[in-house]
Amino acid sequence: MQRLKTRPQFQAAMAGGTISRTPHFALHRLRLDAAPADPASGTALPAPAPSNASPAPGPGALPSWQGPQALFAMGSGIAGDPWLGAMVPKRWARRAVTRNAIKRQIYAVAPAFGPQLGAAAHVVRLRAGFDRKQFPSAVSEALKQAVRAELLQLFAQAVRKPGKAQAPARPLAAPAADVPVQPLSGTARP
């Protein structure tokens, strides 16, 4: 399992979508397909030729024909090897010792699920803080066990549903029956 190192790699992996969530963590995935496949024959399509008509939007940006997968094309990596990054913001873990302990747990649990994760870039993101009243010590054994249990649950959900994003936590509200629905076209109907 290779580690994400650059900001564009993290951004591309997070843009891929959330595939599983737990109360404290979210797992984002970007599938790394070698080349897009032709739907009719299933064979790999060649990459489109670069166009000189539109330059890249900014410094360090990839041309649109390369796509985010070019960020993960390392010669030293094994084809199909998963990538992993950990994001533990200060907002949810104030102490550096806690952030580092959580990252160590992420990097320790993930290799067990590496073969099932496949060729993809993954980012595990802490999305809520652990209660400091329940875990007063930054590196208590209870906190380590709680983090590990939740990470095992997070990766197990991702392996169970490899291609689907998790449903939203709250159901979407249905429109009220007495509210009229506006037509999509620009003309109003009487």
The predicted pLDDT at position 148 comes to 94
Per-residue pLDDT tens digits for 41-86: 444 444 444 444 444 454 454 444 445 555 666 544 555 688 999 9
Task: Determine the average pLDDT of the residues in 98-127.
Answer: 91
2-3: strand order across its sheet? 2-3, 83-87, 120-126, 25-31, 18-21
- As given in the structure block, the two tokens for residue 6 are 């650059």
Question: What is the chain's alpha carbon radius of gyration, rounded to the nearest angstrom?
Answer: 21
The predicted pLDDT at position 69 comes to 55
Q: What sign does the dihedral 47-77-19-132 (CA atoms) show? A: negative
What is the helix (H) or strand (E) element at residue 107, kind and residue range?
Answer: helix 96-109
What is the helix (H) or strand (E) element at residue 87, kind and residue range?
Answer: strand 83-87
> What's the chain's average pLDDT?
73
Among 70, 108, 119, residue whose Cα is nearest residue 86: 108
The predicted pLDDT at position 79 comes to 54
Q: Is 96 helix (H, G, I), strand (E, B) or coil?
A: helix
The CA-based diameter of the chain, rounded to the nearest angstrom, is: 68
Please give, one letter per residue, the 3-state secondary structure of 117-185: HCCEEEEEEECCCCCCCCCCCCCCHHHHHHHHHHHHHHHHHHHHCCCCCCCCCCCCCCCCCCCCCCCCC
